[in-house]
Structure 1
Amino acid sequence: MEEAIKKLLHGFRSFRENYFAGDSELFEQLKHGQRPKALVIACSDSRVDPALLTACDPGDIFVIRNIANLVPPYEPDSRHHGVSAAIEYAVNCLKVEHVIILGHSDCGGIHALMERTADRPAGEFLEAWLDLAEPAKQAVCRQLQTSSDTTRHRACEEASLVLMLENLLSFPWVREKVERGRLKLHAWYFHIATGRLFGFDRQSNEFHVLTEAEN
Structure 2
Amino acid sequence: MQRFPEYLLAGYRSFMGGRYTAERDRYRELAANGQQPRTLLVACCDSRAAPEIIFNSSPGELFVVRNVANMIPPYEPDGQYHATSAAVEYAIQVLKVENVVIMGHGRCGGIQAALSPSSTPLSDGDFIGKWMKLLKPAAEQIQTSSLLTAGERQTALERVSIRNSVSNLRSFPFVKAREVEDGLRIHGAWFDISTGELWIMDDETGDFVRPTL
Q: TM-score, normalised by structure 2?
A: 0.90
What residue is the counterpart of 1:172 in the other structure? Answer: 173
Deviation string for 1:46-84 (max 9, x for gaps)?
101110111111111001111000111111121111110
What residue is the counterpart of 1:94 in the other structure? Answer: 95
Structure 2 CA distance, aligned partners of 1:20 and 1:68?
31
CA contact (8 A) 1:158 1:189 kept: yes
Structure 2 CA distance, aligned partners of 1:22 and 1:153?
41
Q: Is 3-12 or 95-104 further displaced after alignment?
A: 3-12
Alignment of 1:12-31 (within 5 A): 12-21=12-21, 24-31=24-31
DSSP-derived class of the 1:63 partner = strand
Count of residues paired in the alignment: 209
Alignment of 1:1-215 (within 5 A): 5-21=5-21, 24-32=24-32, 33-116=34-117, 119-120=119-120, 124-141=126-143, 144-210=145-211
| Deviation of the 1:135 alpha carbon | 2.9
DSSP-derived class of the 1:129 partner = helix
Q: Which amino acid aligns with 2:41?
A: V
Structure 1 CA distance, aligned partners of 2:115 and 2:157?
8
* Structure 1 residues 23 and 183: alpha-carbon distance in aligned structure 2, compared to 1, 3 A threshold: closer
| Deviation of the 1:22 alpha carbon | 8.3
Q: Which amino acid aligns with 1:207?
A: F
Q: Which amino acid aligns with 1:6?
A: E
CA contact (8 A) 1:136 1:163 kept: no
Q: Structure 1, unaligned stretches of length 5 or more?
A: none
CA contact (8 A) 2:199 2:209 kept: yes
Structure 1 CA distance, aligned partners of 2:142 and 2:181?
33
| Deviation of the 1:178 alpha carbon | 1.2
* Structure 1 residues 96 and 195: alpha-carbon distance in aligned structure 2, compared to 1, 3 A threshold: same
Structure 1 CA distance, aligned partners of 2:22 and 2:120?
56
Q: Which amino acid aligns with 1:174?
A: V
Deviation string for 1:77-99 (max 9, x for gaps)?
21111110011000000010111
Q: Which amino acid aligns with 2:140?
A: Q
* Structure 1 residues 137 and 181: alpha-carbon distance in aligned structure 2, compared to 1, 3 A threshold: farther
CA contact (8 A) 2:115 2:143 kept: no
Structure 2 CA distance, aligned partners of 1:22 and 1:192?
28
| Deviation of the 1:3 alpha carbon | 11
Structure 2 CA distance, aligned partners of 1:23 and 1:188?
28
| Deviation of the 1:151 alpha carbon | 0.7
User: Identical aligned pairs, as a percentage?
Assistant: 37
* Structure 1 residues 48 and 58: alpha-carbon distance in aligned structure 2, compared to 1, 3 A threshold: same
Q: TM-score, normalised by structure 1?
A: 0.89
| Deviation of the 1:134 alpha carbon | 1.7
Structure 2 CA distance, aligned partners of 1:66 and 1:21?
31
CA contact (8 A) 2:200 2:211 kept: yes
